[in-house]
Structure 1
Amino acid sequence: MRRLSLPAAPTQAGVAPASQWGALKKLAPYVWQWRWRVLVALGFLVAAKVSNVGVPLVLKQLVDALDLKPGDPQAALVVPVALLLAYGALRVSVTLFTEMREFLFYPVAARIARRVSLETFEHLLSLSLRFHLERQTGGVSRDIERGSKAIHSLLNYTIYNILPTLVEMTLVISLLSAKFDGWFAVIALGALAGYITFTVTVTEWRTHFRRAMNEQDSKANTKAVDALINYETVKYFSNEGFEQARYDENLQRLEKASVKSQTSLSLLNLGQSLIISAAVVLLVWRATVGVVEGTMTLGDLVLVNALMIQLYIPLNFLGVIYREIKQSTIDMEKMFALLGQNREVADAPDAQPLQPHGGTVRFEEVRFGYDSDREILHGVSFEIPAGETVAVVGPSGSGKSTLARLMFRFYDVGEGRISIDGQDIRSVTQRSLRQAIGIVPQDTVLFNDTVEYNIAYGRPGASRAEVEDAARSAHIHHFISSTPKGYDTMVGERGLKLSGGEKQRVAIARTLLKNPPVLIFDEATSALDSANERAIQEELKSAARNKTALVIAHRLSTVADAHQILVMEHGRIVERGNHAELLAMDGRYAQMWRLQQSGAEERDVTA
């Protein structure tokens, strides 16, 4: 599918574009791809409008034909029948042409809405970790949902209603000018000008009510999703009432905003109706005077009334169209703002796929900070030779997990360089980089799907046998097989139906199935008991054999046999060497080792 480059939007999702009509310009390239289908459908709609305007003309002829002089009964039997057939044909034509338009255009609107939604979702997945740590899931999902629906409305109302409505109004006013005196056209044009002015003015005034309603709708949805995702935490602290009150606070604001929006809409509808009703009364009065004076026939009176009704319907619809376009552009504001979010980490224009041949990882004088005024890593340098295991230990906040995030290129380094097999990771595509790295994270989050789906996520398309082999390696196959539904067992939202250890083993199986040349174990056994930890450690060692592995650990006993151990404090490597060398140094590592060993002995005595 061909990608479309969209203009940049504000970086804050809540800020409106400089011009709401810019949404139409952004949709134009999508519509252009379907231009021939669109033009044919437009032709059908114009034909429907022409047929619709022809109906009152035939009706006038029919009424005049019935106003016969005495002694001419035969004409009453012939002429009205022909006119009735023409009247019926025009009515059918209106419906036929309208449905042909729908048949041709509806798939176009649906496809464009799908493409924009997909591109927004794709763009969100391409944004940096920083954006996703700051976003609110409920609000973002609601923005996409409203934006997708708005595209349907915007395309239908703009392309296939505004132009035909203008054509129909032009035809009606032209007929009034051609067949009757100039006052008919003056009244019709005056009503049209007053109607449009009133509609635009009031709609602009009530736009901020709609925007406020959308804002509160997103906030309410965010609160609800946040509370449901963190269901267990809510229960732990018995905060159901607090969450309900927080949710209801936003619902009350939404209620007030929606009432204001609906009240202003009622005011708009009433004013539009008054303008049109006044115009109809004036035109019918002029026609009635003409019939009384003998300058107009009874059929002319019927024609004027029918034409004014014909003008009233599209004119009233034009007001609806304008309101809907304004509301749709408001609904699309945040969706296009999401599309305009800058990709903090993007592939270089000439980026090539990573070509791993061994998997040697090298950090060279790497400096990095999540904020420009607070540096986390201070000139970190080390190498993980192909096929070897390097462990990183140290207290919380020393920068251990940051190393993994930088390897995955969730963030770019501030200074220095990270390379795999001599290739700077900033010069290769992010997709190929992440395909070459597997990770078992400390905090495992699973999809609300089956156990098989979550394990197979490591390599989509893997067979059931391959999934089961990975599960056996992660020592979770027996547990899965013991459940009633086996691998078809649903794990629940974020895997809440599984214990911490079970989730961790699913994550290990998922990474083993991926089988990448570079592995990262970020506290991979932190959620396991001692017996399972030892078993899993053996499997992890087996999985890391002949692969490059970075092990981030808190418990030193799990990394004692690593080829090299790095000790980090405050974003710096303060010691490095293997287990024996570090103990011999009798430095920070040796101190941590003695502390943990004494703690383990105390636990054994207590047990």
Structure 2
Amino acid sequence: MSEQGATAADTKPTRPPRRGFGPAGGPGGMGMPGEKAMDFKGSLLRFARSMRPERGKVVALTLSGLASVTLSVIGPRILGHATNIIFEGVVGMMLGARLPAGATTAQAVDALRQSGEGRLADMLAGMTNVVPGQGIDFDRLGQVLLGVLAIYVGAFLFGWLQTYIMTIAVQNTMRRLRDEVEAKLHRVPLSHIDQQQKGEILSRVTNDIDNVAQTTTQTLAQLITSVLTVFGVLAMMFSISWVLALVALVTVPLSVIVTTRIARRSQPRFIAQWASTGRLNAHVEEMFTGHSLVKVYGQQEASAQRFATENEALYRASREAQAISGTIMPSMGFLANLNYVVVAVVGGLRVASGTLSLGDVQAFIQYSRQFTQPLTQVASMMNLLQSGVASAERVYELLDAPEQTADPAAPIVLDRVRGRVAFEDVSFSYAPVPEDGEPLIAHLNLVAEPGQTVAIVGPTGAGKTTLVNLLMRFYEVDGGRITLDGVDTRELTRDALRSSVGMVLQDTWLFKGTIEENLRYGTRREVGEEEFLAATRATHVDPFVRTLPDGYATVLDDEGSSLSAGERQLLTIARAFLADPEILVLDEATSSVDTRTEVLVQHAMNALRSGRTSFVIAHRLSTIRDADVIVVMEHGRIVETGDHETLLAAGGAYARLYQSQFASPDVDGQEAAAAARRV
């Protein structure tokens, strides 16, 4: 083993900055979307592209919507015939009382003109089925009404089919989007995750995707139906009266102007609303994760104050977004009513002049309502659409995050991992190094032979865990290389590299599931019951698990809160036993167990390390006395190497660390105190 010193600025951090759960921790990460303009059009088009696999269903729901709209548009025109039948029957009965039996419609018109009732004569001349003395033709009326009923039932069925197809298309798209986000989170480098608040990421993965799904479900079919309805109704309106159609179209430019101006004002508020949602979720997640420490340090009031601040920001952003966008509906309603009044007045005059029948005007008024309704619906959907696109953009920001370097196209495959690990002239820094600065680790050399146990010790911030992060390729080296059995780890796939390494960290990680599922999590092969129990006994897991009511079938939550910290630590050690890796990384693996259990676990870990290359990071020097090689680090460089006895006799940095833990203050108080200050 050899080493080459490396200097590092004392002010350099040894690990990427992590956000605490204190109330002073500000939001960070990708940047709050509210601080920049949203690319509404680009995000909308990108989401449309993400729905390409569902284009067949989109075509089907469009055709269903077209059929539904066509039937709905035909309905009022046929219903107008029913109105004409009733009105003509009433007029025929009135004329029968004033004219002799058998008089024709033409004779009735002449008689009305001779009596000075010219306006009534003009109106009667525009009717085609008036028979003086004959009342309402109920047989014909019944046929028309039955036809209208069949048409509306058909419109309903096609509308239901459209909604059903749309739901399938949207949910398929959301499933793919969630899959993309899940895959993306596995491809982003650890450095990127370290820079984010957990709650912010969770908000994008859950709240924002749910909002996109809800928005698409509520707007896609309605938008297609509204567009088709506008064109269909417009065609029917022109077929009845081009004059009334032009009158109805006057309100369209006004509607577009009003909607565009309101949308332009509300769009930034929706961006701020979802940014505030992400910050609030991040704060709640942090406070929940660290609720014990929040109480220990008496920060409940400060936490509640921070929550109140973020909650108020979300309230204001949501209120402004909804208030501004909410004015669209009343504005469009006003324009629709204005259009209704104008159409009713002009239509009444044209009925009186005999240019139009009463049924045609009645149908046209219905069409004018149908014409303004989709415009109003599209306008009202703008707030949903803006909210959904704002969420989609936040999801796409996550999908566009920088990814870790790709695995080699033709990776080297190691048939058998011996476990020789070498750091060769390795340089690394978490942050870019200024021109006049130095990296955290510079030109470091370290070799671990197969089967060796290498203990890495040193004061906090010396760079011990950084070496492990580089070995695992959680971070990539800036210079030099790390080899496994002589092969650059960058020429291996990450899965192949990491499958050869078992890790036990100071921070225990358990997931929601049974104890047995947690223990078998890292196994690469089928582990029999006998081997499983042997491993749990060796790590002293079996005794305390047997005391639980359900034993190994006991279900843990995602924090394992039903177990003590030491018991959780034992489970992670047993998991490493069962994984049977070629290389072991033990980072303060016994920090949470009591002294007696630590001794027992040490014996078990010694057996586990037999024949395996092991890296042991420890502050308790008693746990690494039997290591083959002890590496002492300070400020990102190796200052000493050797075994326990050799380093202790040398009286250097290791001896000072050892004395600070075990020397009596009255024997060597000054040296121990000095060493303690260094730690």
Q: 1:472-511, aligned counterparts within 5 Å?
A: 472-492=537-557, 494-511=559-576
The alpha carbon displacement at 1:84 in A equals 1.3
From 216, 221, 225, give the equivalent of 1:160: 221
Structure 1 residues 353 and 274: alpha-carbon distance in aligned structure 2, compared to 1, 3 A threshold: farther
Once superposed, which parts of structure 1, at least 4 consecutive aligned residues long, lie more than 6 Å away? 460-464
Partners of 2:453 and 2:615 within 8 A in 1: yes
Aligned to 1:358: 418
Partners of 1:562 and 1:578 within 8 A in 2: yes
Q: Deviations over 1:177-219 (max 9, x none)?
A: 232143x222222212211221121011111222222222222
Structure 2 length-normalised TM: 0.82
SS in structure 2 at match of 1:495: coil
Q: Distance in 1 between matches of 2:70 and 2:525?
A: 56
Q: Distance in 1 between matches of 2:527 and 2:353?
A: 90
Partners of 1:109 and 1:151 within 8 A in 2: no
Q: Distance in 2 between matches of 1:590 and 1:227?
A: 41
Structure 1 length-normalised TM: 0.91
The alpha carbon displacement at 1:490 in A equals 4.5
Q: 1:226-265, aligned counterparts within 5 Å?
A: 226-265=286-325
| Structure 2 residue ranges without an equivalent (≥5) | 1-28, 94-130, 668-679
SS in structure 2 at match of 1:95: helix
Q: Distance in 2 between matches of 1:595 and 1:224?
A: 40
Aligned to 1:12: 31
Q: 1:75-224, aligned counterparts within 5 Å?
A: 76-156=137-217, 159-182=220-243, 184-224=244-284
Range moving further from structure 2, 347-356 or 393-402: 347-356
Q: How many residues align?
A: 592
Partners of 1:157 and 1:325 within 8 A in 2: no
Q: Deviations over 1:489-508 (max 9, x none)?
A: 34445333332221211110
Partner amino acid, structure 2, of 1:203: A
The alpha carbon displacement at 1:411 in A equals 0.6
Partners of 2:38 and 2:271 within 8 A in 1: no
Structure of higher CA gyration radius: 2
Aligned-CA RMSD value: 2.6
The alpha carbon displacement at 1:305 in A equals 1.0
Partner amino acid, structure 2, of 1:170: F
The alpha carbon displacement at 1:345 in A equals 4.6
Q: 1:363-512, aligned counterparts within 5 Å?
A: 363-373=423-433, 375-459=439-523, 465=529, 467-492=532-557, 494-512=559-577
Structure with the larger RCO, 1 or 2 (CA within 8 Å, 6+ apart): 2
Q: Distance in 1 between matches of 2:661 and 2:210?
A: 58
Q: Distance in 1 between matches of 2:149 and 2:70?
A: 15
Partner amino acid, structure 2, of 1:362: A
Q: Distance in 2 between matches of 1:116 and 1:467?
A: 39
Partners of 1:12 and 1:337 within 8 A in 2: no
Q: Deviations over 1:236-290 (max 9, x none)?
A: 1233232222212222222222222232133222111111111111111111111
Partner amino acid, structure 2, of 1:19: D
Identity %: 27
Q: 1:521-532, aligned counterparts within 5 Å?
A: 521-532=586-597
Q: Deviations over 1:11-61 (max 9, x none)?
A: 535365762222233233432222223212221111111111011111111
SS in structure 2 at match of 1:318: helix
Q: Distance in 1 between matches of 2:528 and 2:176?
A: 33
Aligned to 1:3: none
Partners of 1:53 and 1:171 within 8 A in 2: yes
Partner amino acid, structure 2, of 1:51: L
Partners of 1:173 and 1:188 within 8 A in 2: no
SS in structure 2 at match of 1:444: coil
Partners of 1:356 and 1:420 within 8 A in 2: no
Aligned to 1:45: 65
Structure 1 residues 502 and 317: alpha-carbon distance in aligned structure 2, compared to 1, 3 A threshold: same
Range moving further from structure 2, 72-81 or 83-92: 72-81
Partner amino acid, structure 2, of 1:377: I
Partners of 1:150 and 1:329 within 8 A in 2: no
Partners of 1:345 and 1:411 within 8 A in 2: no
Q: Distance in 2 between matches of 1:106 and 1:330?
A: 21
SS in structure 1 at match of 2:465: helix
Range moving further from structure 2, 218-227 or 363-372: 218-227
SS in structure 1 at match of 2:476: coil
Partners of 1:395 and 1:569 within 8 A in 2: yes
From 8, 31, 43, give the equivalent of 1:23: 43
| Structure 1 residue ranges without an equivalent (≥5) | 1-9, 603-607
- Say whether residues 1:330 and 2:330 are aligned partners: no
Aligned to 1:576: 641
- Say whether residues 1:286 and 2:320 are aligned partners: no
Partners of 2:204 and 2:391 within 8 A in 1: yes
Partner amino acid, structure 2, of 1:217: T
Q: Distance in 2 between matches of 1:376 and 1:187?
A: 75
Structure 1 residues 181 and 115: alpha-carbon distance in aligned structure 2, compared to 1, 3 A threshold: closer
The alpha carbon displacement at 1:351 in A equals 4.4
Q: Distance in 2 between matches of 1:581 and 1:324?
A: 71
Partner amino acid, structure 2, of 1:242: A
Partners of 1:360 and 1:385 within 8 A in 2: yes
Q: Distance in 2 between matches of 1:227 and 1:573?
A: 38
Q: Distance in 2 between matches of 1:29 and 1:261?
A: 27
SS in structure 1 at match of 2:245: helix
Partner amino acid, structure 1, of 2:42: G
Structure 1 residues 594 and 246: alpha-carbon distance in aligned structure 2, compared to 1, 3 A threshold: closer
